[in-house]
Structures are given as structure tokens and as C-alpha cells.
Amino acid sequence: MMRRRLWLDAAVAFCGACVLGFAAHAAEPFKIGFILPMTGQQASTGKQIEAAAKLYMAQHGATVSGRKIELIVKDDGGAPDMTKRLAQELVVNDKVDVIAGFGITPAAFAAAPIATQSKTPMVVTAAATSAITERSPYIVRTSFTLPQATVPIADWAAKNGIKTAVTFVADYGPGLDAEKFFISQFKLNGGKVIGEIRTPLKSPDFAPFLQKVADLKPDAVFVFLPSGQGAAFMKQFGERGLDKSGIRLIATGDVTDDDQLAEMGDVALGVVTSHHYSAAHPSAMNKKFVAAFEAANHFRPNFMAVAGYDGMHLIYSALAATGGKGGGDALLAAMKGQVFESPRGQILIDAQTRDIVQDIYIRKVERVPAMGNQLYNVEFDVQKAVKDPGKAK
């Protein structure tokens, strides 16, 4: 009798330990480490993505399959050395399950080897040079690529009476992608590029470059500048009278960025751009997204915000697919091939390239009476399910 009692006690104690052990495991948070430019020239990118990630958590709860989600946000100031150090610290010290963010291409390049070495999924929610996803098999992207956004505006330009163009891009990865793909597509459609201008990424003064455009007198100038530079560019474009020179301004949507569009004023009216997201996208899901984002933050979401929001969705669904277990390779496998509705429209994570496939809209800046008479990028045409043309075929 006594022996049996002892055995029972032992069994109960053992099971108690089991339950405790399981509870301790279940209570372990799932950590997402965002590395973003919260200060410096690209600070608006960090502000938009952090706000969107927090909104996603507020709307969908902070627990997935029994795991509490912990968001860690680190500021790299847009400096790649800092990005690399922070990625290392997040992986080694904080033991994060996923790294995310990366405001500019050099920052994404700097973190890629850390993702590979530690087998940590790296969700790129901003940087947009085509080659980024090739730098690590652990990279998945929810933003866009410059070739993807550029080819449709080159098509549109050639079909809309523009015969000569000058390219005008920021002199680094995404700008060089935009330049290359605009030139090849515009030429393919019979257009002629009569000048190629590159501006420095850091604190550019656009005046001398705009003078060159005025001198070359193309039918249109095609522009790519990173998020945050559009308003300064537009101001100088107007100050130099280029808006009244007969030279049409066309661009990727980074230039007529929703983050700055309202302050640009009439000089932006009529500018045609191509991009994957406009705050004025007329879907029910986007209307809800924009209303909730503006209520929480008192500013308009831009394309960076939507990529941050979708990045969180991708991570949440991957974690759920592993039943809350996580693990770098299992999460990565669950991210590949995901199809879901985003505020921008339906998106797919291509299982082969780990890059995003999405619709690219052609839009025109208009004052929209039904939306407070503010400036918006109003979509009027679309190329469906565009794959990154920058990937080797």
C-alpha cells in the first residue's frame, strides 16, 4: 500500500513537472526584432512601419497559437554598420525568432549574412533593390522591387505620346534598378532616352540636376527617389518652373509618397506614377486599414506602412502554421507561397524567389473632394500580378 502511494506521489510530481515544463515553453514569447531608421534622413520609413506593425497587433491580438508576440524595435538611423550590429545583437542576445524592417537597400544587404548564419527568417518591409532576396535564402520581402514598379510606367509613357525621356534617379541600388528597367522598357516600346541623371542619396540638392533636365528638353522626366525626398524634389521642380515647361513629370510612387503628398500642393497635380499602393486604393479592406491607421496615428499610411502591416500578417500566419512552434526553417517554409489580401490588393510570396508578386497601379495625383479635398494618387489602370522583372529568368 505504502509503495503504491509513493509511486502515485512520484507520478503526480512528475506530471506536475511535465505541465510546468510545457507551460514554461508555451509562455515563452515569440520575438520579432524590427530594425528601422527611426532617426535620420529615412526616419519617416521607420515611423510608418512601426505604426503599422503596432496597428496589426492591436487588431489581431498579441498571441498566436499560445505564444505571446513580443515586438522589439531598434533604430539603425539608416546606417548599414549599425543595422548589422543590431541584427547580431537581436539574434544572439535577444534570441529573436524573426528579424524584420530594413529601411534602405544597404541596410538589408548588411543584415543578410546574419540571417543566413543564424537561420533566422528576415522579412524585408521596405528596401526594394531587386537583388536583395538573392543575398540570403532566409529573406522574404513584403515591400516591392524597383523593376516591378518601373516597367509599367515605361509602358504607359510610350503609349501616351511620350517619345523622349530623361531618367533622374537616386544614385544607389534601387535608383540604378529603376534607371536600367525604365531605359530598357521605354526603348522596347519605341521611346528614346536622351539623358541619364543620378543624384546623391544623402542630402541632395536637386537644383543643378533639374537645370540639366530643363536644358535637355525631353517630353518627360522619369524620377525615382527614396521615400522622404519627394516633397523637396517637387518644391524645387516647381520653383524652377519645370511644371510649366511642357516637360512631363512621371515617376515611381515613391516620389508622390502618401506620407508627403498633402504638403506638396498644386505642383504635384496631374503627376502620373506607377506603384503598388495608394492610400486611396478603393477596396473595403483598404478603407478600413486607412481609417484605423489614421485614428491611431493622426497621419496617413504610405507604401512603407502597408508593407509593415503585411509583414506582420506573414509572420503571424507562418507562426500559426507551425502550431506556435516556430523555428527558422519551419517559419520560412510556411512563408513561401502565401497568398493573402492586403490593403493594396491580393499579394503572393513567390515560393521560388521569396519575393512579392503584386498588382502595379498607374495613378494620377488629384484633389479628391470626397476625401477632404486633399491630394491623393488616384488609380486609373493596373498591371495584374507583376513578378519582379529583375530576377534572372
| 328-335 helix and 303-321 helix, angle to the nearest 10 degrees | 120
Query: CB-hemisphere CA count at 13 Å for 173?
Result: 15
Nearer to ligand DHB, 126 or 319 (CB): 126
Instruction: Mark 286-325 with x for binding to ligand DHB (rule: CB under 6 A) and - for no binding.
Output: ----------------------------------------
- Strand runs (DSSP E) across 235-338, as ranges? 248-252, 272-275
Nearer to ligand DHB, 216 or 262 (CB): 262
Instruction: Mark 47-86 with x for binding to ligand DHB (rule: CB under 6 A) and - for no binding.
Output: ----------------------------------------
CA-only gyration radius of the chain, Å: 23
User: Taking the complex as a whole, how short is the minimal distance between the CB of residue 75 and ligand DHB, in angstroms?
Assistant: 16
CA–CA dist 236, 246 (Å, integer)? 16
- Sign for the pseudo-dihedral over CA of 235, 237, 241, 247: negative
* Residue 41 sits in the site that holds ligand DHB (CB under 6 A): no
Instruction: Mark 199-238 with x for binding to ligand DHB (rule: CB under 6 A) and - for no binding.
Output: ---------------------------xx-----------
Contacting range for ligand DHB; rule: CB under 6 A; set: 120-128, 160-168, 191-199, 205-213: 120-128
CA–CA dist 351, 63 (Å, integer)? 26
- Map the footprint of ligand DHB across residues 90-109, applying CB under 6 A: 104-105
* Residue 332 sits in the site that holds ligand DHB (CB under 6 A): no
Provide the β-strand partners of residue 198: 169
175: part of which helix (H) or strand (E)? helix 173-188
SS3 144: coil
Nearer to ligand DHB, 227 or 286 (CB): 227
8 A C-beta contact, residue 123 and residue 311: yes
CA–CA dist 65, 67 (Å, integer)? 6
* Residue 45 sits in the site that holds ligand DHB (CB under 6 A): yes
User: Taking the complex as a whole, how short is the minimal distance between the CB of residue 146 and ligand DHB, in angstroms?
Assistant: 7
The x, y and z cell numbers of residue 167, run together, are: 531618367
Nearer to ligand DHB, 121 or 173 (CB): 173
* Residue 152 sits in the site that holds ligand DHB (CB under 6 A): no
CA–CA dist 123, 332 (Å, integer)? 10
- Map the footprint of ligand DHB across residues 241-270, applying CB under 6 A: 254
* Burial class of residue 64, CB neighbours in 10 A (0-12, 13-18, 19+): buried
Contacting range for ligand DHB; rule: CB under 6 A; set: 54-62, 123-131, 284-292, 347-355: 123-131
* Contacts to ligand DHB by CB under 6 A: 45, 104-105, 126-129, 173-174, 226-227, 254
